[in-house]
């Protein structure tokens, strides 16, 4: 994209990064919405979450890595922190419909950790392992 186009739409680099992170958050939200498993109380929650991660990680690996880079950029760029927090809170709120709020937050943290480890180690995603470890957290 030409520099002129970016500076026309975004006053600062932080504004551009916030917009990119919001768009990345929407990508994962689409995966969640497309599966619809949270709406059915009979759906195995651990299996549904493991499936989400599997579907997300099975996509374009470069895109997933870029999404995490934007998410982690909030460590150095305070303007991104509210958007990164929105993603985690939104997911925890969705999960809290099926479990308590503390467990929902723990599940978000665990899912983050599993995804980061897969990306950092370039190991294949192990859905069975993810399902098993998620079940250990769910009461």
The enclosing H or E element of 53 equals: helix 45-57
Average pLDDT over residues 25-49: 81
Domain coverage including residue 16: 12-137
Asked if residue 31 belongs to a domain, the reply is yes
Asked if residue 3 belongs to a domain, the reply is no
Give the Cα separation of 25 and 93 in Å (integer): 15
| Total number of domains in the chain | 1
Question: Which pair of tokens denotes residue 1?
Answer: 């994209």
pLDDT of residue 4: 53
pLDDT of residue 122: 83
What does each C-alpha distance from 88 to 8, 39, 84, 112 come to in angstroms?
Answer: 30, 19, 7, 9
CATH code at 111? Answer: 1.10.357.10
Asked if residue 35 belongs to a domain, the reply is yes
More confident residue, 4 or 10: 10
8 A C-beta contact, residue 56 and residue 91: no
Asked if residue 60 belongs to a domain, the reply is yes
The per-residue pLDDT for range 68-118, each reduced to its tens digit, is 888 888 889 998 899 888 888 988 998 999 999 999 999 999 999 999 999
pLDDT of residue 47: 95
Tell me what the pLDDT averaged over the chain comes to.
Answer: 86
Asked if residue 5 belongs to a domain, the reply is no
Q: Which residues contact 89 (CB under 8 A, 6 or more apart)?
A: none
pLDDT of residue 22: 85
The alpha carbon of residue 41 and the mean position of all alpha carbons in its chain are separated, in whole angstroms, by: 22
The alpha carbon of residue 135 and the mean position of all alpha carbons in its chain are separated, in whole angstroms, by: 19
The alpha carbon dihedral of 55, 57, 59, 64 has a sign of positive
Lowest pLDDT segment from 17-26, 49-58, 89-98: 17-26
């Amino acid at each position: 994209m030409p520099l002129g186009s970016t500076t026309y739409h975004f006053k600062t680099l932080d504004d551009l990064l916030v917009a990119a992170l919001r768009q990345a958050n929407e990508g994962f939200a689409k995966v969640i919405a497309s599966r619809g498993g949270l709406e059915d109380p009979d759906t195995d929650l651990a299996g549904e979450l493991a499936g989400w991660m599997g579907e997300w990680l099975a996509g374009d690996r470069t895109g997933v890595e870029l999404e995490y880079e934007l998410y982690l950029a909030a460590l150095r760029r305070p303007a991104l922190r509210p958007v990164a927090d929105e993603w985690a809170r939104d997911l925890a709120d969705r999960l809290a419909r099926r479990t308590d709020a503390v467990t929902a937050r723990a599940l978000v943290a665990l899912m983050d950790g599993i995804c980061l480890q897969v990306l950092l180690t370039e190991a294949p995603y192990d859905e069975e392992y993810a399902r098993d470890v998620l079940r250990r957290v769910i009461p």
